[in-house]
Amino acid sequence: MSSPGDRAPVPAPATAVPTSVSEPVSVSNPAAPATAPPRVVLGIGGGIAAYKACELLRRLRADGFDVTAVPTAAALKFVGAPTWEALSGRPVSDDVFSDIPSVAHVATGQRADLVVIAPATADLMAKAATGQADDMLTATLLVTRAPVLMAPAMHTEMWAHPATVANTATLRERGVVVIDPAVGRLAGSDSGAGRLPEPEHLAALAGLLYRDPHSLRRDLAGRRIVISAGGTREPLDPVRYLGNRSSGRQGYALALVAAARGAEVTLVSANVLLAEPPGVQVVRVTDARELENAMVELSHEAAAVVMAAAVADFRPAASAPTKIKKIVDEEPEALALVKNPDILARLARPGAARARVVVGFAAETGDGSADPMASVLAYARDKLAGKGCDLLVVNRVDGGRAFEVAENAGLILAAEHGGAPAGVVAEIPLGPKTALAAAICDAIAARLGRA
């Protein structure tokens, strides 16, 4: 799991920010220094999940944002103003009568480069949907032209109520990014949909939205996507296994972004120790054969399948029922290996049950030549043709790249389709794994649009 120290500071955005379907505007402030950190308004609704926003604020600051906390009066009953001021380094006010000379209830929204609401309660969402502005936070929402990310948190019945469903739809139509809540323990003894997503996920989505305001558009709404993540473990005995260095971060980032873009995501997770992304169904597996069975079964009704998991190419021919002992002065017997199934090739095989878009990953080190990317690309093109998949994400993994780190870079190759020639459709520079995930979602959405 990444920590705030793993992530690079957020760079300035390269594009204008759309606040609605029809109104693109720029959030840049000519009066601000060129090196000024991006400004985030963190709005906190009046729910028990307000305590988790403290960690979110800490992560946003660690990511390079200048954060102003704007809690509602109800939120201050859960977490007091001194806490928000200590964490943000800025004064806190919840009403429109504070700092009248500077017109703070207007200026706060005007200066924002991004607005994040966490938790977004049912009451706060209703006010935002109907344009009310009776406190600092709702006034800020009415004034701002920056991207807005809302993370609802409430009891399941409130989230499912027709009024909240309608308010969510209204906000999304206006360009607000409203992510689905997580499923889990709520206030009291209740469990269900309505839990605030983990701060690490909210911080990752906030950074992605700031970098690219179009990255979380809901172009995958209603699409079912199956994603594998992690690395398989092939048992040698009850204690040992053959495996690889995959942490699952890239597959989890892809599931997080795809779900935020409206997809119905099933994540097949192989030995991953990360928090589950909100709005995602997780199926856990251990070895390659379990992964194959799960992916084949789940792919039958999927629009897209992504094989981001690192599958062990081989497994022991036999797994010992008890721990293999080390005998002094004796060398161990040679380990006999057999091939594991080629899951990507099976998923890409033409047939009625095949997903419309099959995406593979190629982790390559090159051949040691002076131009390693040339050989990486050559290997990847051969793999794209040989596996029969539609898209292939190519990563260089030598020199500590890609595995067990928070950042990634890559190329996305596409097979010929619908008159579009085969070739590189995107080149993603080194950055957060959510950025590569967004580019993969772009390629999937484009492919589905031509299907």
Whether the CA torsion 26, 28, 29, 31 is positive or negative: it is: negative
Distance CA 104, CA 98 (A): 7
On whether the CB atoms of residues 313 and 298 are closer than 8 A, the answer is no
Mention every residue, 6+ apart, whose C-beta is less than 8 A from residue 343. Answer: 228, 288, 291, 292, 295, 296, 307, 311
Which residue of the set 167, 244, 293, 408 is catalytic? 244
Cα maximum dimension of the chain: 84
C-alpha distances in angstroms, 1 versus 35, 248, 249, 253? 30, 9, 8, 11
User: d(Cα 2, Cα 204) in Å, to the nearest integer?
Assistant: 10
Of the candidates 278, 245, 200, 227, the one whose C-alpha atom is nearest the C-alpha of residue 7 is 200
- DSSP helix, strand, coil percent of the chain (3-state; round to 5): 35, 25, 40
Whole-number Å distance between alpha carbons of 30 and 32: 6
Closest-CA residue to 208 (of 18, 55, 10, 34): 10
395 as an active site residue: the answer is no
Region of residue 240 (phi > 0: left; psi between -120 and 50: alpha; otherwise: beta)? beta
Closest CA to 205 of 148, 135, 128: 148
The DSSP symbol for 398 reads G
Hey, which residues are catalytic here? 244
